[in-house]
């Protein structure tokens, strides 16, 4: 969720900045996708995507993920993938849902799993990444 706010004051207490804020708007959803996506940039989650190995996975949900690669694909293409996380690999096929060119060399693809092997593994990986983030935020990791 998100909520607009105004920073009223910033002070330093015990060497740390403390901001006093006042909310100025209603709560709104921060995630506009069909399924909640979790960023994976610090999760050490990679994928072999088509012929490319150890590609960066940007985010994951219970149904799909976003990957950054150099190869050219179009919406609707089915691509073989192998997700690598926590010392394990899960293989399956994914369908290209969205395409966004990041630079002349890199393209971000949003994909959805299309076979049971991948679809059954995605919820567990997504939850494990969320738990990692919660531990990191709470200082228990």
**Residues in Cβ contact with 66 at an 8 Å cutoff, skipping those fewer than 6 apart:** 37, 57, 58, 59, 60, 108, 109, 110, 111
- How many C-beta atoms surround the C-beta of residue 35 within 10 A? 14
The end-to-end CA distance of the chain, in Å, is 24
All domains of the chain in start order, with CATH: 1-30 (no CATH), 38-138 (2.40.10.220)
Could you list the pLDDT tens digit for every one of the 141 residues in the chain?
567 788 889 899 888 888 888 888 777 655 555 566 788 877 889 999 999 999 999 999 999 999 999 999 999 999 999 999 989 999 999 999 999 999 989 999 999 999 999 999 999 999 998 888 888 777 776
């Amino acid at each position: 969720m998100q909520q607009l706010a105004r920073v009223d004051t910033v002070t330093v207490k015990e060497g740390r900045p403390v901001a006093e804020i006042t909310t100025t708007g209603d709560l709104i959803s921060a995630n506009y996708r069909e399924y909640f996506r979790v960023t994976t940039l610090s999760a050490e989650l990679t994928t072999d995507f088509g012929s490319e190995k150890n590609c960066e996975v940007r985010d994951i949900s219970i149904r799909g993920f976003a990957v950054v690669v150099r190869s050219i694909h179009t919406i609707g293409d089915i691509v073989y993938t192998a997700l690598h996380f926590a010392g394990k690999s899960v293989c399956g096929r994914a369908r290209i849902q969205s395409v966004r060119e990041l630079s002349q060399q890199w393209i971000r693809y949003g994909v959805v799993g299309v076979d049971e092997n991948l679809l059954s593994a995605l919820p567990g990986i997504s939850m494990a990444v969320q738990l990692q983030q919660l531990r990191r935020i709470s200082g228990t990791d």
